[in-house]
A and B are shown apart, each in its own frame.
Chain A
Amino acid sequence: AQTVTQSQPEMSVQEAETVTLSCTYDTSENNYYLFWYKQPPSRQMILVIRQEAYKQQNATENRFSVNFQKAAKSFSLKISDSQLGDTAMYFCAFLSTGSSKIIFGKGTRLHILP
């Protein structure tokens, strides 16, 4: 069974700094998808960024980028020039090809300090 592990329960950084959230996963599959979701206090789960396992190039979305290491089964999220609005829970997630079941990690609570 696939698992997703986020080893940082909570992090705090100053506004405008760069922060990296860690995630590791376990799977025997070769093709799959990885995601980072953001859940602010409003509870709405928002997709931040996605990565297809068959792509070697790391995904980027504006200030958000990932470091995808397939062999190491590592998928970290880097937030550059952090903003107060980035304060939220961040979940790393895994999806098998052909499945509808997204598997989430336990999350990292990120605080951006003014």
Chain B
Amino acid sequence: DAGVTQSPTHLIKTRGQQVTLRCSPKSGHDTVSWYQQALGQGPQFIFQYYEEEERQRGNFPDRFSGHQYPNYSSELNVNALLLGDSALYLCASGRAGGFPGTDTQYFGPGTRLTVL
């Protein structure tokens, strides 16, 4: 059983560009959450998707948007990239009816985004 997978592993972009990161949840999971982890910091919640809709959102600007497909996979889109968007982006999947924090938070290995 494959766990949570993310692509690409690494990505380099320049300021002003747009980027799309992808996440495939663990088998049996139907929610996907995205986190941004800046260097030396803990992850910060961006948003969660369930049933193809954004269910909850953290304190991130509208430049950050997402999508969830019928197969539960998800994309994170960031427009007009800033230098400060350089970070590790983590995806976490879970079951909507699962036990909070455990059945709902299996993390992927992340995508390292560098903005030059």
Q: Footprint of B on A, CB under 8 Å?
A: 4, 33, 35, 42-47, 50, 91, 93, 95, 97, 99-107
Contact = CB atoms under 8 A, between A and B. Distances in A.
B90 A45 contact: yes
Q: How large is the interface on B (under 10, 10 to 19, 20 to 34, 35 or more residues)?
A: 20 to 34
Interface of B: 31, 33, 35, 40-45, 48, 55-56, 58, 88, 90, 92, 100-102, 104-105, 107-110
14 contacts: A33-B101, A43-B88, A45-B92, A45-B107, A46-B107, A93-B42, A100-B31, A100-B104, A101-B45, A104-B42, A104-B43, A107-B40, A107-B41, A107-B42
Contact of B41 (A45, A99, A106): A106
A34 B88 CA distance: 23
A46 B35 CA distance: 14
B57 to A, nearest CB: 9
Contacts of A44: 107-110
Contacts of B104: 100
A50 B104 CA distance: 13
Contact of B42 (A43, A47, A95, A105): A105
B56 A91 contact: no
Given A91-B42, A107-B42, A102 B101 contact: yes
A100 B42 contact: no
A101 B107 contact: no
